[in-house]
Amino acid sequence: MIPVVALVGRPNVGKSTLFNRLTRTRDALVADFPGLTRDRKYGKAELEEHEFIVIDTGGIDGTEEGVETKMAEQSLAAIEEADVVLFLVDGRAGLTSSDEAIAKHLRSREKPTFLVVNKIDGIDADSACAEFWKLGMDGMYQIAAAQNRGVTALMERALAPFADNLKAAAQEDSDEVHIEDLTSVEDIEKANLSEADAEAAYKRLQEQPIKLAIIGRPNVGKSTLTNRILGEERVVVYDMPGTTRDSIYIPMEREGQEYVLIDTAGIRRRKNMHEAVEKFSVIQTLKAVEDANVVLLVIDARENISDQDLSLLGFALNAGRSLVIAVNKWDGLDNEVKERVKSELDRRLGFVDFARIHFISALHGTGVGHLYESVQEAYQSATKRISTSMLTRIMQMAQDDHQPPMIRGRRVKLKYAHAGGYNPPIIVVHGNLVNELPGSYKRYLMNYYRKSLEMMGTPIRIQFQSSD
Ligand code: GDP
Ligand code: GDP
């Protein structure tokens, strides 16, 4: 599971600066859910071999209204959901009563917490830091987020427990490889199997349960759909402290295909359908996306496509997940409204043309059955094994149909292609000057591959490697 790191501290200590620093490697995808999470920001970060989700909890001023209520309202949820808390203070401003109020709160939580003294550039760091020992935290890290000083060392420490887990798992794997233990495309590729064994491993993988995350903003109908999918039988699970914020994994089977539903709607925690669920959780949704094979994004036909829908979509795409879109509440709409919704989808979601769109009514069950076909198709596409010869042949056909343009008087030549990864499929294309190909030709190639390989439902990434 991908770790979650929360940045906590009073305003102006440098949380946003650190957030931007950490999420910079990819575009910082910021989910802004006004009214739900205030102005908290969520981003995916990569640092060396670590991947993690960062939350900027927004400014907490411990003194204004009492830290308990303020934090309880705004940031407590984020802290509860986080695996690690970075508590930022300002080395230049020195210790404030807000810092003390926040520290008191954090000490009462049993969360791995790192005290981070920021802005230590250009000052005598050790003497500036001395007074922060009063906060009673176990250790202290000195950084200058704006200069990227100390950030890597801090994150190495903060994320070490998660890296160790990974290593331990890898260690176990490496002793002896059993095909039945290889549960992801990455594992298979790493295992260096013979061609026949790899074939068998892929075949097995395609028969694995599909991990399906049903996501969407509040009220789009996720729980109604989850109930519909699970049938009328609902198993009630009582709220248990500490578990309420974790997604629940529900195994199910349909027409011989096994699935594991990752429930982000809290369906199994409601005692009945009419009971309010706890708040929608962005972090839970992001974790579900990371852990899923296929993401089913639910959109409400009765609302305009919002930035929130697009943020969630952005996270799924960024994670490289296969995607199916369900436009829900399609019942009882007149034709004019239906046409308007469809043209809005074309306009705003045109860029995810690989994803199948279904118009459904979770309430009445209309169209729900067909979702499975698209989910299966997306999963098969994302995990399909494609040989070098096939990828090269398709590349050649694309090139014969439509020559790449001249660049500075020279013809770009595509030479060969091979797979660089799966789920999402990565295709590496070699040739001369390929890095300088215009975007339009790159898109042409991508679409050519998509059509030839019949890859619906999954993003495809093409990487270009110039041989001169
Ligand atoms: P936030 O309110 O906690 O999110 O704080 P910001 O990230 O917005 O930073 C507040 C101010 O501190 C900005 O003017 C930043 O440029 C400045 N700042 C952030 N990090 C550093 C640092 O490492 N050194 C110095 N000197 N200034 C910093
Ligand atoms: P969630 O917050 O995404 O889990 O949304 P819910 O499943 O709780 O649904 C929110 C509201 O939309 C409820 O009042 C549902 O009855 C209603 N709803 C869900 N699906 C449909 C649908 O297909 N058609 C109509 N008309 N209403 C629906």
* Res. 130 pLDDT band, cuts 50 70 90: very high
More confident call, 219 vs 398 = 398
- pLDDT given for residue 29 in this prediction: 52
Q: Hey, whose CA ends up nearest to atom 15 of ligand 2?
A: 221
Whether 96 has a pLDDT exceeding 80, the answer reads yes
Beta carbons within 10 angstroms of residue 410's beta carbon: 11
* Of 225 and 270, more confident: 225
Q: Which two tokens stand for residue 368?
A: 């729900």
From 7, 8, 10, 12, give the residue whose CB has the most ligand 1 atoms within 8 Å, as the site to mutate.
12
Among 141, 178, 135, CA closest to 156:
141
276 pLDDT above the threshold of 70: no
Does residue 16 carry a pLDDT above 80?
yes
Q: Whose CA is nearest to atom 17 of ligand 2?
A: 221
Round to whole Å and give the CA distance between 390 and 299.
Answer: 37
Share of the chain above pLDDT 70, in %: 81
| DSSP assignment letter at 425 | T
pLDDT in tens, 284-340: 888 899 889 999 999 999 998 988 898 889 889 888 899 999 999 999 999 999 999
Q: Confidence class of residue 383 from pLDDT cuts 50, 70 and 90?
A: confident
Identify each DSSP E strand in 152-289 by its residue range.
210-215, 248-254, 257-263
Give the number of the ligand closest to the Cα of residue 219.
2
For ligand 2, atom 10, name the residue with the nearest CA: 219
Cα of 53 to ligand 2 centre, how many Å? Answer: 29
Tell me: pLDDT of 171 over 60: no
Is any ligand 1 atom within 6 A of the Cβ of residue 98? no
ipTM: 0.80
Report the pLDDT value the prediction gives residue 76, as an integer from 0 to 100.
Answer: 67
- pLDDT given for residue 40 in this prediction: 64
- State whether the beta carbon of 86 lies less than 6 angstroms from ligand 1: no
Q: What is the pLDDT of residue 387?
A: 86
More confident residue, 318 or 198: 318
Q: What is the pLDDT of residues 51-63, one digit of tens each?
A: 898 888 765 555 5
Q: 409: Cβ–Cβ under 8 A, 6 or more apart, which residues? A: none
Angle between helix axes 439-453 and 388-401 (nearest 10 degrees) is 120
Residues of each annotated binding site: 9-16, 56-60, 118-121, 216-223, 263-267, 328-331
Mean pLDDT to the nearest integer, 269-295: 71
Q: Indicate if the pLDDT at residue 391 is higher than 60.
A: yes
The mean-pLDDT minimum among 55-69, 151-165, 408-422 falls in: 55-69
- Mean pLDDT, to the nearest integer, of 25-48? 60
Distance of CA 421 to the CA centre of its chain: 18
- The pLDDT-based confidence of 26 (bands split at 50, 70, 90) is very low
Calculate mean pLDDT across residues 199-211. Answer: 80
Residue 42 pLDDT greater than 50, yes or no: yes
Q: What is the pLDDT of residue 334?
A: 94
At 412, list the tokens: 């770009």
**Phi and psi at residue 123, to the nearest 5°:** -130, 165
Q: What pLDDT does residue 340 have? A: 95
Q: Which of 18-27, 31-40, 46-55, 357-366 tops mean pLDDT?
A: 357-366
| pLDDT for residue 267 | 56
pLDDT at residue 168 in the model? 61
- Give the residue numbers of the binding site for GTP: 9-16, 56-60, 118-121, 216-223, 263-267, 328-331
pLDDT of residue 176: 62
Specify the pLDDT at position 273.
47
pLDDT at 414: 93
Q: 8, 12, 17, 129: which to mutate for ligand 1, most atoms within 8 A of CB?
A: 17
Give the model's pLDDT for residue 135: 93
pLDDT of residue 45 exceeding 60: yes
Smallest CA separation from ligand 2 atom 20, residue: 221
Task: Tell me which residue has its CA closest to atom 24 in ligand 2.
Answer: 329
Name the closest ligand to CA 58.
Answer: 1
Instruction: Please state, rounded to an integer, the average pLDDT across all residues of the chain.
Output: 82
Does this model's pTM top 0.80? My answer is: no
Partners of residue 260 on adjacent β-strands:
211, 251
Distance CA 370, CA 431 (A): 41
State in Å: Cα 277 to ligand 2 middle: 13
pLDDT in tens, 212-249: 999 998 889 998 898 888 874 444 443 333 344 566 78
- Give all strands of the β-sheet with 322-328 in edge-to-edge order: 248-254, 257-263, 210-215, 294-300, 322-328, 356-359
| Contact in structure between 53 and 4 (CB atoms under 8 Å) | yes
How confident is the model at residue 423, as a pLDDT? 77
pLDDT at 46: 83
